[in-house]
Amino acid sequence: MEIGWNLGKIVRVIDISAIRNDFPLLSRSFDGVPLIYLDNAATTQKPHAVLNASRHYYETINSNIHRGTHRLAREATDAYEAAREIVASYIGAPDSRSVIFTSGATDSLNLAAQTLSSLLSEGDEVLISALEHHSNIVPWQWACERTGAVLRIIPCDESGMLPSSLSPHLTEKTKIIALTWISNAFGTVNPVSRYTAEAKHHGVTVVIDASQAAPHLSINVAEMGCDMIAFSGHKMYAPTGIGILWGKYELLAALPPYRGGGEMIKEVTFEETTFNEPPFRFEAGTPNIEGAIALGAACDYLCSIGLDRIKAHETSLIRAAEAELAKIAGIRLFGPADRCGALSFAIEGVHAYDLGTFLDQMGVAVRTGHHCCQPLMHRFGITGTTRASFAMYNTHDEVVRFGECMRRAVNLLR
């Protein structure tokens, strides 16, 4: 067992050795140097449970789903719909029909913006924040361009935090709020339940980007009260190319389809088409069946370990990494002290790309650049940062080695 911190108390968390044995890629080394993978906010590695679920699908039940009468089609359909039930349980959704499988959070947010455009008229307002990923900016810009609505931005302060209350930003014209739960760039954790309560008091539709929250925090959409929530599978130990958009069923049932094709219809003639009920209305074409099944396996895997225990361990890693980075002169950390998942920083006189390249040569994988948050970078007068992001399988020994490699790289670059 490793020791970590949770709410200021020392607690026993997870068995790191057992966890790491579940992830085959972590055993890689480069030129004899063991890999330290600290790019988990971009994508996580995959455990055997997920890899086996993918392989099992293709080796034993590979078939297109729904409508097929043969055994393979029925078994594949059952597995796909069972995964929908698992995901619904993972996020506390009372009705699995509200879970729409997509290709990822970007697809989910585009689906949300395009369909919710039907609620917008000229002069209405859509609120997003200064912390948003491009995937939660561009679709809303397009929605406003199509409808004549106005996109307004909730600013962040110098610590990378949003205001404690959104009420001053809400007007009678505000129709939609789309906010990230955790900033992928700075690790800022936003009080989305509080924000949602304020917005719903004004009758505003709330969309939450939970891409960075899904692998770290417990999600209960019923308690949160939001109208929609989106996340990607690949950031929570599932494959790429799969994600979900959850929405309140009555809202989904009132929205128009996103794309046309098979499965999303009830009846098609050359004169007109009638549409299926959610979630199938929004799942046109052959879906990523294997990805959905593997996402269900990832949810089960996370639950078997426990999100609270994972969060405690990851928090201890970030605290240790902060202490290591504090030993470097001229370093600037971005985001609030109570960050989650990601630790973003810049070093005076050292370019982020050069630093990332030197770290890679030492076996340390980090992310450099604007992290698809160019407006946020502009807000802080920078073009990008170096970001180390943590997962359940990272260790304190890796953090110490990361600190040593950082100091060596900085000394070489200055």
Q: Which two tokens stand for residue 275?
A: 């549409």
| 239 within 8 A of 367, measured Cβ to Cβ | no
The residues with which 265 forms a beta bridge, in sequence order, are: 275
3-state SS assignment for residue 347: strand
Please report, for residues 55, 258, 270, 280, the alpha-carbon distance to residue 267 in angstroms, rounded to integers and kept in the order given.
Answer: 35, 17, 10, 13
| 347 within 8 A of 330, measured Cβ to Cβ | yes
Catalytic annotation, pick one of 156, 299, 372, 405: 372
Smallest Cα–Cα separation from 318: which of 255, 402, 259, 406?
A: 402
CA distance 137 to 375: 10
Q: Which two tokens stand for residue 153?
A: 């931005």
Q: Which residues have C-beta within 8 Å of that of residue 250, sequence separation ≥ 6?
A: none
Residue at token pair 């619904």: 88
Question: Kind of pairing, strands 331-334 and 342-347?
Answer: antiparallel
| 162 within 8 A of 183, measured Cβ to Cβ | no
CA distance 209 to 219: 12
The helix (run of H) or strand (run of E) holding residue 223 is helix 221-224
For residue 401, the one-letter residue type is R
Q: Which residues have C-beta within 8 Å of that of residue 271, sequence separation ≥ 6?
A: none
Smallest Cα–Cα separation from 251: which of 48, 115, 136, 390?
A: 115
| 251 within 8 A of 263, measured Cβ to Cβ | no
User: Is there a cis peptide before residue 155, judged by omega within 30 degrees of 0?
Assistant: no
3-state SS assignment for residue 193: helix
3-state SS assignment for residue 91: coil
CA torsion, points 189, 193, 197, 199, in degrees to nearest 10? 40
Q: Taking the mean position of all CA atoms in its chain, how far away is CA 282? A: 20
Q: What is the DSSP string of 176-190?
A: EEEEESB-TTT--B-
State yes or no: is 299 an active-site residue.
no
Residues involved in catalysis: 372
